[in-house]
Amino acid sequence: MLGPMPSRVGIVVRTRRRPDFLRRALADISAQTFRDYRVVVVNDGGVPDEVEAIVAASDVRDAVQVRHIAEGEGGRCIAANAGVRDAGTDLVVLHDDDDRWHPEFLSRTSAWLEGHPGAPAVAVPTEIVYEERRGGTWTEVGRAPFWAGMQRISLGEMMSVNRAVPISVLYRRSIHDEVGWYDESLDAVEDWDLYLRILRAGEIGFLPGEALAFWTQRPDATGLDANSMFALTEEHAVDDARVRDRALAEWVGREGEGLPLYMAALHEKLTSHIDARLEETAARLRDDLRSELDAHQPFWSRLRRLRRGLRRR
């Protein structure tokens, strides 16, 4: 049961038929030193009774509201939008069921936004945590920094590739009134699309230092246990192109097609040049290898004769 007073932070947990991950996510939230939050668990097509039972058994049950979305009526963006709207808090963050936080994540990020009232969002350094299925449970097998050495969230870099993941970004709910909601026409890259729109309106802050967010990846997992970046590879590629084409269409409608046409021709020319040079290099390496083998032919002939002689004995 949620308390009568509004909370400062809304935590949206998207989950879909992954009870073990949901239990872990709720335990992870419970470990936060910052306590002024409410949790919206968005059950996207899972079994309602199972989700309700997991929430009831968690240490954060008094701060949790559950939103059930029927099978076939949800999706990543629909679930995110529903959770943010239900939270009704000043600050929001997506904590997908398989990701994790440092215990100080909410404390440090909320304090930073409190001290920077003009900033729409803040992100933190993130580590990728690799997991494998061992003995019936997902076990950590390695870690790697996500964009090691990053010191800020750059619009220029973000245009190339996403530099943040939902578990690492706390933002103001009011930004949706300015830049819009998660785009429900997308099946993937919805976070990247939102960050691009936020960066048009203002800077996303960054807290350099130790990793405060942990993005779990399971490259070998299949089915419901898989990460979206692996399970939705084709969707990522299609939606990445859709976001870029939409932005390009906005530019052309405003500025005309001259610069994009010139850049496209330049890109094609550069690509053709690189391909030709690579083919020349490959041909030269093949010739060099063939010459080297020919130079050593007498040695290989002697070796083959020796081997034949040994087999006769």
CATH code at position 171: 3.90.550.10
**Residue 211 Cα to chain centre, angstroms:** 15
Does residue 252 lie within any of the structural domains? Answer: no
Q: In this structure, are 132 and 14 located in the same domain? A: yes
Does residue 264 lie within any of the structural domains? Answer: yes
pLDDT at site 1: 43
**Residue 286 Cα to chain centre, angstroms:** 41
pLDDT at site 297: 65
Tell which of 188, 215, 232 closes a domain. 232
Q: In this structure, are 77 and 145 located in the same domain? A: yes
Range of the domain at 274: 258-312
Q: In this structure, are 103 and 33 located in the same domain? A: yes
Tell which of 232, 250, 268 closes a domain. 232
Q: What is the DSSP letter of 227?
A: -
Q: In this structure, are 151 and 290 located in the same domain? A: no
Q: In this structure, are 42 and 135 located in the same domain? A: yes
Q: In this structure, are 43 and 80 located in the same domain? A: yes
C-alpha R_g of the chain: 26
Q: In this structure, are 52 and 199 located in the same domain? A: yes
In sequence order, what are the beta bridge partners of 67?
42
Q: Beta-carbon neighbour count of residue 65 at 10 Å?
A: 17
SS3 sequence of 45-87: CCCHHHHHHHHHCCCCHHHEEEEEECCCCCCHHHHHHHHHHHH
Contact (CB, 8 A) for 225 and 131:
no
pLDDT tens across the length of the chain (313 residues): 454 457 899 999 999 999 999 999 999 999 999 999 999 999 999 999 999 999 999 999 999 999 999 999 999 999 999 999 999 999 999 999 999 999 999 999 999 999 999 999 999 999 999 999 888 888 999 999 999 999 999 999 999 999 999 999 999 999 999 999 999 999 989 999 999 999 998 899 999 999 999 999 988 777 777 666 555 678 889 999 999 999 999 989 999 998 888 888 888 888 888 888 888 898 888 887 777 766 666 665 666 666 776 666 5
Tell which of 192, 215, 232 closes a domain. 232
Q: In this structure, are 46 and 175 located in the same domain? A: yes
Q: How many domains does the chain have?
A: 2
pLDDT at site 262: 85
Q: In this structure, are 210 and 290 located in the same domain? A: no
Calculate ∠ Cα 236-237-239, nearest 5°.
65
pTM for the model stands at 0.83
Q: In this structure, are 159 and 71 located in the same domain? A: yes
Q: In this structure, are 161 and 305 located in the same domain? A: no
Does residue 243 lie within any of the structural domains? Answer: no
pLDDT at site 220: 79
